[in-house]
Structures are given as C-alpha cells and as structure tokens.
Amino acid sequence: MNFEFGVYSLGERIPDEYGYVLPAKERIENIIQMAKWSDEAGLDVFGVGEHHRLDFVTSSYAMLLGAIALGSSLLQLPLNK
C-alpha cells in the first residue's frame, strides 16, 4: 500500500477569540505560504477545496493553485483586430 501525507485547505473564514476575521487577501497569502511550507517539509500533497460562498476565498481553486505553482504573475495579451 502506498500512502501520501499532505495538507488540505478551504481558506476558512474562522474568527479569532475576539471575533476578528482576516481579510480575504491575507487568507489567500496564508494559503500560498502554507503550500510553500508543505513543499519545504516534503509533504506529498497540498490540496485546496472549491467553495462558492462569499465568506470563503477558494471559489477559484485553479487560480489559487496556479499562483502556488507558478508564483504571482500577470500577463496581458494584446487583442488582434
């Protein structure tokens, strides 16, 4: 049997003990940092779930995984008319 060990995140909107919730931008940055730490620790898997509620930041998991895999970048292609 082959087992893999990893981490999974939904970008949860969990308040701290004072009821404060991190802004979406910080939660996304935290997910990206968690993926980097998972890779550095040698884990086999880093998963991100997809959730379509406004209080979750992972409604576009493919974009988030792209940012993790490729770093942050933007490419604007000109329109050919």
DSSP code per residue over 9-73: E-------TTS----HHHHHHHHHHHHHHHHHTT-SEEEE----STT-S-TTHHHHHHHHHH-S-
Q: What is the model's pLDDT at position 70?
A: 62
Q: What is the model's pLDDT at position 75?
A: 54
pLDDT, the chain, mean: 79
Task: Work out the pLDDT band at 71, boundaries 50, 70, 90.
Answer: low
The distance from CA 34 to its chain's CA centroid, rounded to whole angstroms, is 8
* Domain residue spans of the chain: 6-70
pTM for this entry: 0.71
Q: What is the model's pLDDT at position 3?
A: 82
Q: What is the model's pLDDT at position 18?
A: 93
What residues contact 58, with CB distance under 8 A and at least 6 apart? 9, 10, 11, 31, 48, 49, 50, 51, 64
More confident residue, 40 or 80: 40
Percent of the chain with pLDDT over 70: 85
Assigned token pair, 81:
């008319």
